Copies of this chain bind each other. A is one copy, B any other.
Amino acid sequence: MTVTGEMLIGATALRGREGEIHATDPATGSTLDPAFGGGGAAEVERACALAEAAFETYRHTSLEDRAAFLEACAQAILDIGDELIARACAESGLPRGRIEGERGRTVGQLRLFAGVLRDGGFLQARIDPAQPDRQPLPRSDLRQQHVALGPVAVFGASNFPLAFSVGGGDTASALAAGCPVVVKAHSAHPGTSELVGRAIQSAVAKCGLPEGVFSLLFGSGSKVGGALVADPRIQAVGFTGSRAGGTALIKIAQGRPQPIPVYAEMSSINPVFLLPAALAKRADAMGKGFVGSLTMGAGQFCTNPGLVLAVEGADLDGFLASAGTALRAAGAQTMLTPGIHAAYVEGVSRLSSNNRVQTIAEGIDGPGPFQGRAALFSTTAAHFAEDETLLDEVFGASSLVVRCPDAETMLRLAHELEGQLTATIQMEPEDLEAARQLVPVLERKVGRILVNGYPTGVEVGHAMVHGGPWPSTSDSRTTSVGSLAIDRFLRPVCYQDFPQALLPEALRDGNPLGLARRVDGVLGQK
């Protein structure tokens, strides 16, 4: 497959005329060929018109046909072969192993949703049969299923050029729901985007689906992205990126004549709580494990542990010593983009020069132009409480340890945290009572609570929640990872007294799709 620099509008490829986008290899700083043409209003219009035109046909495809399409997308991505791995590595600076793993995850996501479709539970089929003899009034026959919202706009994220990008989680869950997708590619990895986009485009053709099921646009976030969210045919938005970017899209979505939901994942510092017995027993191991999580992928995960809270004392000192040693040995790593690198350097320097903050350790400096050097800081609970900037996410391998005078203070600080994607508790059985106090507080703050693990590494499964209260995301009621994500792009419709021939198949007598349906409130078996 050749990377041409073209956008993919339905079945066609065309070169944008509004500015050129060049990918940079962050390992070297060199510009990668080819140049990508940025799109404009005409391409947004065309992609949305095709998506709208495709919607009726696509949403009425059978569950099996849609599952087969998702599997075809997965296979087509694999079929690109090593070219995809090489291009994604070059455009992101991420090591080959990571990109190979991410490809596996991306393909796995698409296949997971194929299974979700074959299961059919996401339709939430319900039937309240008619009661013609009920007194004082007869009851109508009422049946309910969930239907697709409509065309969806997906914004690729910089930090997962495969798994949160063109063929990533938002695309997979929207396509599974029956929604055509228009992707605005992230400008950091346009070649990777084009390759994956062409794979999906080929799967659309192979499966005989209307071309508008998928389009891929390049261009500026404010121009192409803004126009996409404002387009009246778009019915929902998936976004992973900065708080500024997310809130800008939310504002556009809410200002439309018909406002639409925006699922924006924005920022998180993922607090880690070290409970006393855990600190007493395994301060050294926790220090090493923590630094492993902190420095993974140059710290460029939404779930990176950017905050540690513990009661001060010799055990915490032991943790800091161990973490400091591990961190000082951590090599510099190429960051995703020059912009992310610059923001990281600025964030670390802001902490270094903050007189409320003590620098515990810095990682090894590196020769590359955009390499990030890990950093570990510490502060007191009093200082932490009085300086709001210490809550700001520093995207990269930087973390802040808050030394609390006692357990009550630690609990109070937990209460005062903003919404987060994750929180982690390091504990031993002796810490159970302390953990019991902490868990209810954290349940209100985060989407996922971990015990004795580290938050990086987000399993793609049925029980995963990758989401959380504002400002970690714009909508705590959903997840962007795992099979529950399909709910984002669905809404319920009730069919009253429909003749069988007019009912959706999922709701017909005799249960032709073999679904687990709720009849008169009682969940049946598949």
Interface residues of A (CB under 8 A from B): 56, 60, 101, 115-116, 119, 121, 124, 126-128, 136-137, 139-140, 142-144, 147, 149-150, 254, 258-259, 261, 419, 429, 432, 435-436, 439-440, 443-444, 446-453, 457, 459, 461-465, 467, 469-471, 474-479, 483-484, 490-499, 501-502, 516, 518, 520-523, 525-526
Contacts and interface: CB of A to CB of B under 8 A. Distances in A.
A470 B491 CA distance: 12
Given A116-B521, A469-B491, 9 more contacts: A121-B518, A142-B464, A143-B463, A448-B494, A449-B495, A449-B496, A451-B502, A461-B521, A484-B492
Contacts of A119: 521-523
Contact of A465 (B115, B139, B258, B493): B493
How many identical chains are in the complex?
2
A115 to B, nearest CB: 6
Nearest to A104: B136
A498 B444 contact: no
A77 B155 CA distance: 50
Contact of A128 (B116, B463, B518): B463
Count chain B CB atoms within 10 A of each CB in A449, A463, A465, A523 and give the residue with the most: A463
A143 B464 CA distance: 7
Contacts of A523: 119, 121, 516, 523, 526
Nearest to A488: B477
Nearest to A523: B516
A222 to B, nearest CB: 20
22 contacts: A116-B521, A119-B522, A142-B461, A144-B464, A144-B465, A149-B477, A150-B444, A254-B254, A258-B419, A432-B502, A446-B493, A447-B491, A449-B493, A449-B498, A451-B495, A451-B496, A452-B497, A465-B493, A476-B491, A477-B490, A523-B523, A523-B526
Contacts of A464: 128, 142, 144, 494
A272 to B, nearest CB: 13
A478 to B, nearest CB: 8
Contacts of A495: 448-449, 451
Count chain B CB atoms within 10 A of each CB in A128, A254, A436, A491 and give the residue with the most: A491
A153 to B, nearest CB: 17
A399 to B, nearest CB: 20
Nearest to A145: B463
Count chain B CB atoms within 10 A of each CB in A139, A444, A479, A501 and give the residue with the most: A444
Nearest to A137: B457
Contact of A144 (B60, B450, B484, B518): B484
Given A150-B444, A516-B523, A462 B492 contact: no
A523 B115 CA distance: 13
B465 A492 contact: yes
A461 B129 CA distance: 10
A212 to B, nearest CB: 16
B446 A521 contact: no
Contacts of A490: 477
